[in-house]
Structure 1
Amino acid sequence: MRAIRGLWRWRGNPLCRTTDLAEAWVALTALLLIVSVAPLAGVLVGGVAQNALQRSVREQHQTRHRMTATVVRALERSPLTVDPESASGGDLRRRVLAHWTAPDGSRHEGPVMVGIDDPGSGDRFAIWTDARGRAVAHPLDSATATTHAVLAGFGTAVAAGALVEAVRRIAVGRMVRRRYARLEQEWDRAGPDWGRTGAGS
């Protein structure tokens, strides 16, 4: 808005310098790019991210299977892993030795993390495995994938806007430095005759 007001103010003004118009046009161009190109870049990147993440969601749901595992015994407490599904970040997961049956019918046993407060032998819980029975992470759900895609698009739009603004500031800074350099040259030429009667005549 300031760029548009600046262009309008200098319209037909005899004191308007070429550099003033150039600065105003650079500012207006940057404003138009921020308003149009940055959101477009965000939408494009968000769309690409959404397609890729939703494809990953489908693949994970096809290749990961929810099975029931049984606790053999609890292992040492590990305060390093926090349950990402819990509402509060204070719910610690417990490490247990468990056994389960893979989708192909093979039996497996190994250490896994569970969200049971006090796991005991025989407790049952859900576990995600691949087709060969190896424990894997919970598959990504569609809503989480969409949230990540939206954040990626928003971040891209903000980054594009910031890049345009940075380029504008650099361009205007160079114009101002050149203007001051020319002004100093003019003062240097006028300096020896400054204040002398009839100078330059």
Structure 2
Amino acid sequence: MGAGPVSGGVLARLRRGVWPGANPLRRRTDLFEPVALLVLSAAAVVVLICSFVASQAVLRDHLGQVNAERAQRHEVTARVLSDVPGQDSAVVRSVAVGWGPEPQRVAVVEVPTGTRLADTLQIWVDPQGRPVPPPRTRSEATQAAGTAGAAVLLGSGLVLGGLFAAARWYVGRRRLAAWEQEWAEIGPRWRHHHP
């Protein structure tokens, strides 16, 4: 026994599922979900645009800092001025290093244990000759931009999801209250017509 032809196809069923149409049993609260879906879709587009704009702004800012640090910092070869006892190269200790012509510049930097007197290492210095961390890289700037974009997406998604869930809860309570009120009016009359 066949079920008969499917009326309207998949798209028509989907449209009827999303938009309630002219059903005489439709309530005002039934319009909430399709309207909320439209609003959420528009908000999702806005969130995507904001996420892209935020990540591009962070990328521009960080790339500017990368370029400034690369212009201001340079690498020098420094000589260790004392032994650093120990065997574990994962442990670091502070030690004096020197570089440049006489009078030699001296600074205290962290080096792995086991470093010996007169070993050399590369350090970064600023225009005044003070040791500084290495300049940031373009990949670090890109990572910061991606993190900012993801944070905007995640935060906005959580906020929109929370608002949608709260609104559905409120509409559900209103719907149940309306049904209870209607049943309170119709129930006694209905019971009198049926023994």
Short-chain TM bin: 0.7 to 0.9
Aligned to 2:146: 150
Structure 2, gaps ≥5 residues long: 1-10
Structure 1, gaps ≥5 residues long: 80-90
Matches within 5 A, 1:39-54: 39-54=48-63
What TM-score do the two structures reach when normalised by structure 2? 0.77
Aligned to 2:93: 95
1:57 aligns with 2:57: no
> Does 1 or 2 have the higher relative contact order (CA < 8 Å, sep 6+)?
1
The whole-number CA distance in structure 1 between the counterparts of 2:15 and 2:39 is 10
* Contact 2:69 2:135 (8 Å CA) reproduced: yes
Instruction: Give CA-to-partner distance per residue, 1:42-79, whole Å, 9 cap, x none.
Output: 10000110111011111211222211111122446698
Provide the secondary structure at the position in 1 that maps to 2:192.
Answer: coil
Number of equivalenced pairs:
182
Identity of aligned residues (%): 29
The whole-number CA distance in structure 2 between the counterparts of 1:5 and 1:64 is 65
With over 3 angstroms needed to count, the CA separation of the structure-2 counterparts of 1:154 and 1:78, relative to structure 1, is farther
Aligned to 1:7: 18
Amino acid at match of 2:38: L
Matches within 5 A, 1:35-184: 36-75=45-84, 92-101=90-99, 107-110=105-108, 112-114=109-111, 118-184=114-180
Superposed displacement of residue 143, structure 1:
1.9
What TM-score do the two structures reach when normalised by structure 1? 0.75
RMSD of aligned alpha carbons: 3.1
